[in-house]
Amino acid sequence: MKKLALVSLLSLALCGPAQAFGLNTLLSAGTDLVKSATLSDAEVQAMAAESSKALDKQAKVAAAGSPQAKRLAKIVSGLSSEDGLKLNFKVYLDKEVNAFAMADGTVRVYSGLLDKMTDDEVRYVIGHEIGHVKLGHSKKAMQVAYAASAARKAAAGSGNANVAAFSESEMGELSEQILHAQFSQSQESDADAYAVEFLKRHNYKLDAAPSALRKLAALYGNDSSLLSSHPAAGDRADKVEKLIK
């Protein structure tokens, strides 16, 4: 959700007389909204852990002995931690070409990505997603999603029932918002640069970075879940090649 839309939603929720809203709900929403801008790293990690549980529950997770899970285990062999994160990996059986990482060390790779990428290209994608976490991009996305939840609480204070702090359904919705967060041009470029350093640290093939981006561009243009509308994947691949050289 765009920040402007978030502000507009909150304004609409709070513009009427105070008597029109449940006071407790308003106080809770206001507290959550303020808190969204000051979430500590520990709180972000705890919320990420809860979000990953919600997403795992919604997804079809590959069994440990499945071909997809075995392949991912091979790809990430020796990668139990990275840059302070204790990593845990699972495969989602989903044709979408996607992957994500979260602040608690959760890394999820979709089977659609495994179908399209070589092992080293998958490693680049994993490094890119970890980069979003370590560079603070995922935390900002979580703050926006958390604030949106607070705005909905305020809107519901007019009398809609069943407003509770992070019910199971709300956590699922929050997790989906975090998962589908859109990163800026500079954030994508910074995560690409982080991924290149990630490949270097582990002696993975560096040319996997531009080849993964070009493969996604050829397959999907900029419609892939892993590609932002700008910068174009081809431009990102060119920049990554310069970093490698």
Q: Residue 132's pLDDT is what?
A: 95
Q: Residue 167's pLDDT is what?
A: 61
Q: Between 4 and 218, where is the model more confident?
A: 218
Helix (H, G, I), strand (E, B) or coil at 175: helix
CA distances from 21 to 15, 146, 153, 157, 177 (A): 10, 20, 10, 5, 26
> Tokens 């994608």 — which residue?
125
CA 200 to the chain's CA centroid: 23
Q: Residue 140's pLDDT is what?
A: 87
pLDDT in tens, 46-59: 888 988 999 999 99
Instruction: Give the strands of the sheet with 99-101, arranged side by side.
Output: 88-92, 106-110, 99-101
How far is residue 38's CA from residue 42's CA, in Å, rounded to a whole number? 11
How far is residue 182's CA from residue 145's CA, in Å, rounded to a whole number? 12
> Tokens 């499945």 — which residue?
66
How far is residue 215's CA from residue 117's CA, in Å, rounded to a whole number? 8
If you average pLDDT over residues 116-142, what whole number do you get? 94
How far is residue 171's CA from residue 167's CA, in Å, rounded to a whole number? 6
177: pLDDT strictly greater than 90: no
Residue 101 has φ and ψ, to the nearest 5°, of -130, 155
Q: Residue 123's pLDDT is what?
A: 98
Q: Residue 14's pLDDT is what?
A: 37
Is residue 229 within 8 A of residue 192, CB to CB? The reply is: no
Q: Which residue type does 216 have?
A: L
225: pLDDT strictly greater than 80: no
pLDDT in tens, 47-91: 889 889 999 999 999 999 999 999 999 999 999 999 999 999 999
Give strand ranges (E) for 168-218.
none
CA distances from 190 to 81, 136, 143, 173, 203 (A): 21, 11, 20, 28, 20
Give the pTM.
0.76
**Which active-site residues does the annotation give?**
129
Q: Residue 143's pLDDT is what?
A: 81
pLDDT in tens, 13-31: 334 433 333 434 433 444 4
pLDDT-based confidence at 176, cuts 50/70/90?
Answer: confident
